Structure 1
């Protein structure tokens, strides 16, 4: 017993001694201050930084370990972590919606230089400088000297230039992020890597993020990354990658996340990708991958996210994709996928049905009907089937998908009725898009939806004739689109409440009538109320509105003189085709952000404002079809951003002001149908090199056509018709580049503004009695509809119109050089020469309309001659008028109307006399010529321009038919039909 007591006593003494040692040690560690040399290094580092928000205000005192962003080892006191990441991360949504966001964001960022004093932190394991702004300085080579560094994050920090190989010295590195911020011009600096071999010297690397870094030069980028056996995450999106190896022995078998979206990869999807069996996240979207989705996809059993959207994939979705039981998100939108939708939605495995949360199949070629029973997709939150060829009805079982948040079925061929049963359990729904189908909403007037929508897109659905009452319950709407919805109502009083939080309102193409409310509580920044029947005066909207389209209504009275002061943020203002009177308010010049001003087709008068000196962003001015008078203001030439000017059909006069030569970005200058006079200035060709459309028709210009016009290599339309020009046609016209090889397509910048140039179509006379019959407009084979069809066919029109001047001399030789010239007119001039030398060998050219009719009656006049044989090579020719000349030989055999050859007595062949005998040739069963009036010759006599295959033309519905009084029923007198062709502005 005594021995035991002694042992126990000794034990207590030892425990007490050890505890005292441990306590003393812990106390000493706890009291450790940072190393003085490292504190001095941090002070020097701080002094080289720019800190506008004073984020480093805590960097004072002796203990640097207590400073913001500094972390020290508890044992040694050395600085091991430096985290200076911006606590206010960049918000892409705010940047896209707010022009001033980037400037405000920079004020929260650190900037300046990285002082080499930082190298004193030899024990640093973690360095984070992300979300700052170092204004394009290179990443210092010295960072490669931190031998203990495991974590390096320099993303979105504004570094630029080439990434040096010194980072390859960081052999302990596990995390590397050099991603570049791409969503703001103000904050973007290009960061590039010319040789990626150094990355293979980081054997411990687990996470590699190079989003936005230019990797165009490293040809062996994949081989270098394949040397990283521990890699778990790889992000190379937006890296300008063009090639990916078709075969590879994969070494990074631990890879879980692979992101290659937004590159230029244009091969088939390499099968080796699906040998990475641990993959959970694979994003190949926004590339140009071709071919089929590989069957090997079934090997990636753990895949949770698969994004193949925006490629050029075709064929059917592999059936075995339904075996991916962990798949939560599958996106293959914007490809060329085909097949029946039932095989995708109706035959999925049970595990796939239960796991899938996001399914996007939009903008493909899927057909068939949506399966009747969709209840199995109980976890589905996002369903997008829009932009396919689906038909049939929308199944009511969609209403049972209680997790559904987003439903998009727009732009299909769905038909039928939508009832409250389609939404019965959709309590989580916040976005509904059923636009552009043939759907009619039929719900009870007392129905209260279970959801609160933020986004509603029901354009082209039948919602009317009254505004649906259930909309009153939707008080959190951000975007409202109900255009072409059959609404013939007035705006109800409660509409102000549901749209009080929205920033996008579109009610275009309805029959909404009554005065236009002032919307005192509505803060939409984008308002589309065009093509309705609103009447009365124009109210002033909220000051935050940036886009306002009220075109094609019945609004009248004066445009408020204060509009520019009350709506200073305006970006696009369209008031065209109303009944506004009075002058154009000078306060419009105060809209410093204004880019598109369209007040065409009104009854505005007076002088055009002269205050445009500060309108630095203005790109489009369209005041056509009004009654403005006076001179073009000199200040119009002080807007360098102007691309499009439309002044036609007004009462402007005078010589063209020389200040317009400063508009070096101008692409459209339409001054037709005014009273301008003087010579055509040479500076049009010398200074306005970007011009594509130039129309000076129906003015009083005199003198010769300046040779400098030939410098306009991009010109697609030149209309000088109906002036008093003399001299010869410049032979350099045959060198117009865009009419020889075409020009690149113009990018769409303002989708709601469409370029307008007035054209005239000559047709054989439609007498009033004939036009009064409704069948003319109903019959798709009538000349009226033929006119419409022809106006839509031309997608890249190049036009040269010199008609009705006093031009003389020989016709331009080798006109066939202009192989993109679609229309050439030189009516009522004094042109002569051999037409066969002019047209040459034109079998491959695009000429569709040719009018060289001569109507001069002088007996000693010269006219066009030559043989017609080569004209027969113009395979695309649809309209021809060569009357009153002296042509010989075989004429074009495809046009039936003999009047196009009148006065050419030496021509022969159908429908004229036979070439072998002086008698009419057989008409081959064709109708009598007199019964063909108005069916054959539809000659486009004005100008138009195109933007390649992406151009969009639309004939305005209100065609103005100008009927002749000189031609009775059956007359072949020629008349003009004026209409508008539209294409989207670049």
Structure 2
């Protein structure tokens, strides 16, 4: 507590008499009562104010925790009620409203120091009465859930040196910051996350008038700049002594304006944080004169181009963060420009566009000794060993090296020179060769080793090797570690993250493994060929009690489901050979957020209460097992986003409790024995639904019109059921399907870390199943096949121009194919087979040039097949079973040659609405047409008959021609008579 006394400005810290302050001080009765009133108004669950008592032995408030009195006047001069700063300690905070607290605080009118930070005051306002604390020099109300308008009378505290109101998101600044000008001695100001958007035109001018300000923190305040000449000239020449300036996470874009307003001095400013703004590369030149800078953060801005030469002036830089910009050029060149910054320890160029190459040898002239280097996701394409030895040759104190997502190649070098290294991250590169224990045995401090996604790298350690380090994180996924299980891991007893998926391990899990990693938090050994039995009980306090995520999917584990600790949030045991029931496993469901048990041998019924106690469960997949009984019930507070229960033996109706899951995006209940009607509430209770799979069940009744409310739907599969009725015309309400395939919401849903590689869709096509995985976000399909649907295909369906697959086969649909079906230019699968469709094939079908699979077979279609363009790639199987179709590719049914000459027949719409060319009238029209054509043909030759007849050769040719024409007419007329006869007989 003496430290607080030293902070208080009213106390002469240079002339403190220790014996004087150690003598017993008794607080004033009035101030003791005020403090007890404050305690009475607060909720103190953990007894932080337990020393504030009412007993006679506790009557000296100067001995209470957090209370400091002046040894001369006995007045309370400091009150420190700061709560714990970490979120997981939030229950230790005192709570309550502060209406009465403020009235009691003003009784402490000698107060110099007041800290109420990191508590919970439930949106209470800062009282106007605070101005009565006229001697206050330090006020900290940060992170305490204060709200309402900041009182302007706060500016009456003219002696205030330190003001911190940050991280109170509900505080309001109404019209101006003029009240700040009353702080004549203010040195520290922090208004972080307080919304200052309403004062965006004046905040700079107000701040510039605080002449004593040394530390300014305005992060995430919605600040912007107004560049007006009059305002600039009015404050030009003002001086500040700013040493620390934090304006991060705003909308600022003009560094010269800021510097002119604040008149930053090259001799005073040491820290600038402009991260997450909109500054461009011009700010680099503006900053190059601030030679006193030791900390500079310009990450997440709009910097482009190469590094400026003028940065060589920043010789005092210790911390430089330029990550998440668009800087390009060679990394070696940038390092050369920083060679004078010999104090530089922290350097971040993450996610820029830097490349390798350049003269690395000159870097030996640099004497910087980096502690931290982040070059993740650039374009470095040099050998890793070359970079380490040449570019970082002098940085032997390097502790943190992050090189994720580059193109660093070559073999893994010996890193013994970097003996201080604690974290080495090289995932997503192109390393090759073999990593052995000799390469890293000289790293005794190593805690994090991440070499994942280097598929050409082999990791071979001796099974008996005892490393000099104890790793905290080990990530070697997609490296070659197999075929044996890495036995050297037995020595690593502090691992919290172990990720060795897809590491080509073909072995059993050693007996010591499950008991060895008691601190493990994340365990991922998926996509190997690991076999054996998972211990039946991992929930014991001595085994993996801190487990948060376990992924053993795509292996060969057998046995039964293990009991898992209550701490587990993410569970993936899919694609194994685990058998038995889920009954005991359900006991730990209260903390589950992600559960995938698909593709196993599980069976039996699911207990009714299994998932009712899972308020955080967002992903559930039990697909491809042999579960039976009723579908599991969801809880009243259902948070499911994805539900996959397909290919089991569930029966009964869809439970109404599922309507509570209003956030569902994916629902797949296909390939079960479900019955009943499709619930109407699916269309109204699930507004975000994008995938609905109900295929291969026993649903009956008609399609509910409420399905048309699913405006976000992209995959709708109700195939192989007993659905009757007509196809709703309101399908054009499917807004998402009316947009051609592009980046979609489903893409974003799938790409999230929780669901990535877990979402897929299947489309039945001619008895085969086509599966979409990585491109699922682009798939938009409707499959109503194998039902009892009747009526016409609604023309509204042609507005769904984003459809990739449309399958209406094996129903009882009638009428024509919609004339403008060609609007569906994105179709890849198109199946209308085995219905009763009639009429011709629309010529607009030729517009569907992306179509890969087409089936119009076994209908009553007629006329010539539009055999041009892309349709010529299909065989006759796409058109078989349509007696009235003719022409290519139906070789056995050529169309008459006259078809090319005949006029379009008149549309007859009586009982024959489809205009079927096999009707009686069509045969009569055709026969008359042929006779008239023959007569006209003969008549045309009579004109020249006289001249031809006198020439012998011409006469012979002419007679032969007439004979051929007569023979052809005889055959044609008889063929049509036979067709007409068969028509009436049928």
TM, length-normalised to structure 1: 0.77
Deviation at 1:217, TM superposition (A): 3.7
For residues 313-372 of structure 1, what are the alpha-carbon distances to aligned partners after superposition, in whole Å with 9 as ceiling and x for unaligned? 333332322321111111122222222222212x225422x1211111112221223763
Cα distance in structure 1, aligned partners of 2:269 and 2:46: 42
Q: 1:851 to 1:28 in 2, by over 3 A?
A: closer
Asked if the contact 1:868–1:888 (Cα under 8 Å) also holds between the matched residues in 2, the reply is no
For residues 458-498 of structure 1, what are the alpha-carbon distances to aligned partners after superposition, in whole Å with 9 as ceiling and x for unaligned? 11345535336797324432111111120114335441321
Cα distance in structure 1, aligned partners of 2:36 and 2:399: 51
Cα distance in structure 1, aligned partners of 2:593 and 2:646: 20
Secondary structure of the equivalent of 1:579? coil
Q: Which residue of 2 aligns with 1:439?
A: 431
Cα distance in structure 2, aligned partners of 1:232 and 1:62: 41
Asked if the contact 2:689–2:712 (Cα under 8 Å) also holds between the matched residues in 1, the reply is yes
Alignment of 1:919-958 (within 5 A): none
Asked if the contact 1:729–1:812 (Cα under 8 Å) also holds between the matched residues in 2, the reply is yes
Q: Which residue of 2 aligns with 1:622?
A: 621
1:429 aligns with 2:426: no
Deviation at 1:449, TM superposition (A): 1.2
Q: Which residue of 2 aligns with 1:133?
A: 120
Deviation at 1:514, TM superposition (A): 2.6
Deviation at 1:682, TM superposition (A): 1.8
Q: Which residue of 1 aligns with 2:396?
A: 402
Cα distance in structure 2, aligned partners of 1:399 and 1:343: 16
What value does the CA root-mean-square deviation take over the aligned residues?
3.8
Match of 1:460 among 453, 458, 462: 453
Q: Which residue of 1 aligns with 2:35?
A: 42
Deviation at 1:142, TM superposition (A): 1.4
Q: Which residue of 1 aligns with 2:270?
A: 280
Q: 1:846 to 1:868 in 2, by over 3 A?
A: closer
Q: 1:864 to 1:691 in 2, by over 3 A?
A: farther
Structure possessing the higher relative contact order (Cα contacts under 8 Å, 6 or more residues apart) = 1
1:671 aligns with 2:651: no
Secondary structure of the equivalent of 2:38? helix
Q: Which residue of 2 aligns with 1:151?
A: 138
Match of 1:828 among 796, 800, 810: 810
Cα distance in structure 1, aligned partners of 2:82 and 2:208: 30
Secondary structure of the equivalent of 1:351? coil
Choose between structure 1 and 2: higher helix proportion. Answer: 2
Q: Which residue of 2 aligns with 1:473?
A: 467
Q: 1:465 to 1:28 in 2, by over 3 A?
A: closer
Match of 1:411 among 405, 408, 423: 405
Secondary structure of the equivalent of 1:225? helix
Q: Which residue of 2 aligns with 1:190?
A: 170
Of residues 45-54 and 123-132 in structure 1, the stretch that sits farther from structure 2 once superposed is: 45-54
Secondary structure of the equivalent of 1:456? strand
Q: 1:649 to 1:69 in 2, by over 3 A?
A: closer
Q: Which residue of 2 aligns with 1:206?
A: 187
Alignment of 1:616-695 (within 5 A): 616-633=615-632, 635-636=633-634, 640-695=638-693
1:123 aligns with 2:110: yes
Deviation at 1:753, TM superposition (A): 5.4
Alignment of 1:887-926 (within 5 A): 893-894=869-870, 896-899=872-875, 902=879
Deviation at 1:179, TM superposition (A): 1.4
Q: 1:29 to 1:608 in 2, by over 3 A?
A: closer
1:799 aligns with 2:786: no
Asked if the contact 1:867–1:888 (Cα under 8 Å) also holds between the matched residues in 2, the reply is no
Deviation at 1:146, TM superposition (A): 2.1
Secondary structure of the equivalent of 1:590? helix
Q: 1:907 to 1:524 in 2, by over 3 A?
A: farther
1:525 aligns with 2:501: no
Deviation at 1:309, TM superposition (A): 1.7
Cα distance in structure 1, aligned partners of 2:325 and 2:842: 51
Deviation at 1:701, TM superposition (A): 2.0
For residues 630-681 of structure 1, what are the alpha-carbon distances to aligned partners after superposition, in whole Å with 9 as ceiling and x for unaligned? 3324x34656122221111222233323332333232221011222233222
Deviation at 1:890, TM superposition (A): 6.4
Secondary structure of the equivalent of 1:295? helix
Larger Rg: 2
Cα distance in structure 1, aligned partners of 2:304 and 2:886: 54
Q: 1:316 to 1:80 in 2, by over 3 A?
A: same
Size of the alignment, in residue pairs?
838
Q: 1:680 to 1:205 in 2, by over 3 A?
A: same
1:79 aligns with 2:90: no
TM, length-normalised to structure 2: 0.77
1:558 aligns with 2:536: no
Secondary structure of the equivalent of 2:356? strand
1:847 aligns with 2:817: no
Q: Which residue of 2 aligns with 1:15?
A: none
Of residues 878-887 and 533-542 in structure 1, the stretch that sits farther from structure 2 once superposed is: 878-887
Q: 1:803 to 1:444 in 2, by over 3 A?
A: closer
Give ranges in structure 2 of 5+ residues lacking alignment. Answer: 1-14, 539-543, 901-986
Q: 1:468 to 1:509 in 2, by over 3 A?
A: farther
For residues 228-265 of structure 1, what are the alpha-carbon distances to aligned partners after superposition, in whole Å with 9 as ceiling and x for unaligned? 232221112233446675987364642222212234x2
Alignment of 1:47-66 (within 5 A): 47-59=40-52, 64-66=61-63
Q: Which residue of 2 aligns with 1:782?
A: none
Deviation at 1:909, TM superposition (A): 11
For residues 418-443 of structure 1, what are the alpha-carbon distances to aligned partners after superposition, in whole Å with 9 as ceiling and x for unaligned? 222xx233222110111121224656
Q: Which residue of 1 aligns with 2:383?
A: 393
Asked if the contact 2:886–2:895 (Cα under 8 Å) also holds between the matched residues in 1, the reply is no
Cα distance in structure 2, aligned partners of 1:764 and 1:49: 70
Deviation at 1:34, TM superposition (A): 4.6
Deviation at 1:906, TM superposition (A): 8.2
Q: 1:765 to 1:29 in 2, by over 3 A?
A: closer
Q: Which residue of 1 aligns with 2:843?
A: 868
Match of 2:730 among 729, 732, 745: 732
Q: Which residue of 2 aligns with 1:706?
A: 704
Deviation at 1:455, TM superposition (A): 1.2
Q: Which residue of 2 aligns with 1:505?
A: 498
Deviation at 1:833, TM superposition (A): 4.9
Deviation at 1:736, TM superposition (A): 1.7
Secondary structure of the equivalent of 2:654? coil
Secondary structure of the equivalent of 2:340? helix
Give ranges in structure 1 of 5+ residues lacking alignment. Answer: 1-21, 96-100, 182-188, 767-786, 920-986
Alignment of 1:245-394 (within 5 A): 249=232, 251=238, 253-263=240-250, 265=251, 267=253, 272-273=258-259, 276-277=264-265, 278-289=268-279, 293-345=283-335, 347-352=336-341, 354-369=342-357, 372-373=360-361, 374-375=363-364, 376-394=366-384
Cα distance in structure 2, aligned partners of 1:211 and 1:678: 57
Cα distance in structure 2, aligned partners of 1:572 and 1:640: 17
